[in-house]
Structure 1
């Protein structure tokens, strides 16, 4: 599927927002992994906080789904997948928060795995930041740059 100029511009715009976010938030979680267990316990202690977080995740994912259904380059694929991930995670937090709470409890005992996982998120964020802010727009989507 070839990308249009509009889809490449939209991918670049989303990369400018999602890239830095993925550098900052997962980066802080990776560095603060030892502190995350107690924070998660406090988070899940308040059903209203969990519900509100689920609503925010869903609200963050739906605009990406609505305005970025492009799969023509690696960056477009990652951005679209990220929107679906946010929305689905939001729905799970709203409908079945105990599933995420169990996953968080298990991961709290494996900090190294948390750090690796969120470290991968940081690397993806650095790449998307490059795609959105630094790379020259290209008419060919094969190189992963919109």
Structure 2
């Protein structure tokens, strides 16, 4: 359980801060997405970073129990999938991002609130 608490304390604040940033700076995030999708190098580097982070989480915390720590494991596996897709199927990732940007404001609000909620939950579990 120590690993679960450590990862909750690590991931929780990051998610809260990123979620708030999404809600407060939507126009800047759209520029970031556009720039990343326009750069094959950035898409690859961010894919490699997501894959590395996801593998680090899963290798240290592959916990499949019906309790809150499974959320951390799911985040790790989602990072692995995200990183893998960015490396292996970059064109499809770019196409999907282009579709998402066309619905930017709705996606931004929903994802911002979801990330804040998940981060706050992990902070609560990790720090309290």
**Alpha-carbon distance in structure 1 between the residues aligned to 2:101 and 2:28:** 9
**Alpha-carbon distance in structure 2 between the residues aligned to 1:118 and 1:44:** 20
2:109 paired residue among 115, 132, 145 = 115
Greater helix percent: which structure? 2
Choose 65-74 or 88-97, whichever is displaced more.
Answer: 65-74
Deviation beyond 4 Å, 4+ runs, structure 1: none
List runs of 5+ in structure 2 lacking aligned partners: none
1:115, distance to aligned residue in structure 2 (A): 1.2
TM (norm. structure 2) is 0.90
List runs of 5+ in structure 1 lacking aligned partners: 1-7, 135-146
The alignment's C-alpha RMSD in Å is 1.5
Report if aligned partners of 2:54, 2:80 keep a CA contact under 8 Å in 1.
Answer: yes
1:26, distance to aligned residue in structure 2 (A): 2.7
Residue-by-residue CA offset, 1:83-113 (whole Å, 9 max, x unaligned):
0011110011111122222222222222123
**How many aligned residue pairs are there?**
127
1:41 paired residue among 34, 37, 42 = 34
1:66, distance to aligned residue in structure 2 (A): 0.3
**Alpha-carbon distance in structure 1 between the residues aligned to 2:12 and 2:124:** 8
SS of the counterpart of 2:68? helix
Report if aligned partners of 2:18, 2:115 keep a CA contact under 8 Å in 1.
Answer: no
For the pair shown, which has the larger CA radius of gyration, 1 or 2? 1
Report if aligned partners of 2:12, 2:122 keep a CA contact under 8 Å in 1.
Answer: yes
* Higher relative contact order structure (alpha carbons within 8 Å, sequence separation ≥ 6): 2
